[in-house]
Structure 1
Amino acid sequence: MNLNLRQLRLLEATCRLGRLTEAADEQAISQSAASQAIRELERTLGYSLFHRVGRNLEPSDATQRILPRVREILSLVDTLEDPCGDQVRGDFHVAASVTIGCYLLPHLLAAFCRRHPQVEPRVTIGNSEAVIELLEKGRARLGIIEGPAGHTALEVHSWRKDTLSVFCAADHPLAGSGRIERKDLGQQRWIVREPGSGTRSVFDAAMRAARITPTIAFSLPRQEAIKQSVLAGLGVGCLSALSIADEVAAGQFVELATPLQLERELSWLVPPGRRRDTTLNAFLSLLE
């Protein structure tokens, strides 16, 4: 089989970027040369690598199956630049879900950069689905997410526990008792994260386990929007205890006891083949 690294790098870049023109620019070749390279690779492998969807190229099922191995090959080749394998340096892109990205990751990266000043960190913050998508497309080296995590093409590892808090404004009728009884859970106006977030997944699972159908007054993608809505008296919120600690300490919010099971796992995820990455392993040592 006559394959070359340029073809494999172009294949990986096209999967990651979604467009052959952008992949060609990244690999510093012309679009016509890129098209020819993909055609030659398809002839060599004997199957189609992409389907066109509008202006984008979507990897075929066969490409999805071989992509982890392609990335592992390229990762191994990249280690030849550092034969000792002990250099912690360069670009390091972490994708994190919102609570982690706002309240845990900044302190971790600060400690990491103090230990390894040659590292140039980049952070993308989104909900758990968005983090997983970045990893699938090879656009991040590490993902850290909230809530249940299961994925057949990514390595998933439990990291630490986190607990969601149900809370209300200090002048809310429930603030005096400091709790919501089970029979009253379905009567509250809930202000929660959007579907696809780890926080929402845990909230929904807890409600299903309690056999409650909640009234969702607002489904919002930003923690600050949820907090401001609760402060305005629009309903009861549910967020990580990490994200409301300052407001609880200041007397703006009251945490409410409930019968809901709201503990969750935080997890880190990496694409297959990345465990030979020296910089990644150094950061994982810090996590652990």
Structure 2
Amino acid sequence: MIDKSNQQSFQRLRLNLRQLEVFVATARGGSTRAAADRIARSQSAASTSLADLEAALGVELFDRIGRRLLLNESGRALLPKAQALIDQAADVQALFTDEYAAPLRVAASFTIGEYLLPSLVAQWTQLHPKSQIQLRIGNTSEVVAAVAGLDVDVGFIEGAQTHSDLVTRPWLADEMVIVAAPTHPLAGRLATAGQLADATWVLREHGSGTRQIADEWLLKHLGQVRVGFELGSTEAIKRVVAASDGLGCLSRHAVTQSVADGHLVELQTRLPKATRKLAIVLHREKRLGHATRDFLAHCSGVKQ
């Protein structure tokens, strides 16, 4: 249903951008002939547009001195606002002169947003320099909420989602690993289930996809998990683990560099591997734009 007050506002709007364009060009050039040359229109069309604008506003915008048109008080008041409107209209039009210029809004859970997407986004922007990607990072439940609320165009998650308005697509494979400080008593040894059950753990917060899979895997095989710290950042977990006797359970994607640098070690255990599929999450009713579809194809086609 159309709001009648808004409808009346639209009906009262009697000026248009083309008239403002002629006005600004005339103000810069000093005549409708100069304005016509600036905006590639005929002088008669420019004169008509300027006359229509003055009639719509009910004031004259120029003092006519011979063949010269000089801005009067009303014209000087209008000029900055008219220029701003034209600039904004040009920005809007520019969004669609390049099919990748419109901002692409992406949400990602921490592991994906911090360790997987940055290189993919960098490669994408190298291929499409005008592209703008707005990346929001949160835990899986926050990403799901953003996609469901249409606050973002696409989400990348590492946990299961059950929201009725969303659909998921399998994306990349991931594996959970147990890490410790290089000085930890279990480093370099084959850790038993009993030793792991007695250890202190540093885990992600509830609502995190990493925490969900860690709980399922560890509780199934250890029977108990003694949680010493719950942290909302993978980087914080790695720092605490590296400086303490706590164990971490994180994505292999998140710890590969830290293990290679010697800040952490991966513990060897007899536990079966814990693998999962990272996923792309989309709103069921949202029509994907061309840039979104191509970005998803780019993310799916680049090997990690």
SS at 1:156's partner residue?
A: strand
CA separation in 2, counterparts of 1:260 and 1:206? 9
8 A contact 1:148–1:202 mirrored in 2: no
1:139 maps onto 2:151 in alignment: yes
Letter in 2 for 1:145: I
Taking a change above 3 Å as real, the CA distance of residues 211 and 243 of structure 1, as seen in their structure-2 partners, is closer
1:227 maps onto 2:212 in alignment: no
Deviations 1:218-260 (A, max 9, x none): 1100112111111112411111112222221122211012305
8 A contact 1:164–1:239 mirrored in 2: yes
User: Partner of 2:204 in structure 1?
Assistant: 193
User: Partner of 2:185 in structure 1?
Assistant: 173
1:269 maps onto 2:281 in alignment: yes
Ranked by relative contact order (alpha carbons within 8 Å, sequence separation 6 or more), the top structure is 1
8 A contact 2:219–2:225 mirrored in 1: no
8 A contact 1:186–1:215 mirrored in 2: yes
User: Partner of 2:171 in structure 1?
Assistant: 159
User: Partner of 1:37 in structure 2?
Assistant: none
Deviations 1:49-94 (A, max 9, x none): xxxxxxxxxxxxxxxxxxxxxxxxxxxxxxxx9xx9x923211110
Letter in 2 for 1:172: H
1:213 maps onto 2:254 in alignment: no
8 A contact 2:184–2:245 mirrored in 1: no
Shift of 1:183: 2.5
SS at 1:104's partner residue?
A: helix
8 A contact 2:154–2:281 mirrored in 1: yes
Letter in 2 for 1:245: T
Letter in 2 for 1:244: V
8 A contact 1:153–1:272 mirrored in 2: yes
User: Partner of 1:49 in structure 2?
Assistant: none
Letter in 2 for 1:214: V
- Give 2:213's match in structure 1, choosing from 186, 194, 202: 202
Shift of 1:131: 0.4
Work out the percentage of aligned pairs sharing the same amino acid.
Answer: 33
TM-score computed with the length of structure 1 as normaliser: 0.68
8 A contact 1:199–1:239 mirrored in 2: yes
SS at 1:267's partner residue?
A: strand
Letter in 2 for 1:188: A
Q: Which shifted more, 233-242 or 100-109?
A: 233-242
Taking a change above 3 Å as real, the CA distance of residues 276 and 124 of structure 1, as seen in their structure-2 partners, is closer
Shift of 1:160: 1.1
CA separation in 1, counterparts of 2:296 and 2:285? 15
CA separation in 2, counterparts of 1:211 and 1:174? 16
Taking a change above 3 Å as real, the CA distance of residues 185 and 234 of structure 1, as seen in their structure-2 partners, is closer
User: Partner of 1:249 in structure 2?
Assistant: 260
Mind listing any 5+ residue stretches in structure 2 that lack a counterpart? Answer: 10-92
Letter in 1 for 2:221: A
TM-score computed with the length of structure 2 as normaliser: 0.64
Shift of 1:133: 0.8
Deviations 1:107-163 (A, max 9, x none): 111122222222211011000000011111111001001133333211111001011
Q: Which shifted more, 206-215 or 196-205?
A: 206-215
Letter in 2 for 1:205: E
- Give 1:113's match in structure 2, choosing from 115, 119, 125: 125
In the TM superposition, what are the counterparts of 1:50-129 in structure 2 within 5 Å?
87-129=99-141
Deviations 1:163-201 (A, max 9, x none): 111011111100131x32122221010101111001000
| Bigger Cα Rg | 2
Aligned length: 211
- Give 1:283's match in structure 2, choosing from 278, 281, 295: 295
Shift of 1:284: 1.2
**Divergent runs of 4+, >6 A:** none
CA separation in 1, counterparts of 2:195 and 2:225? 10
Letter in 2 for 1:242: H
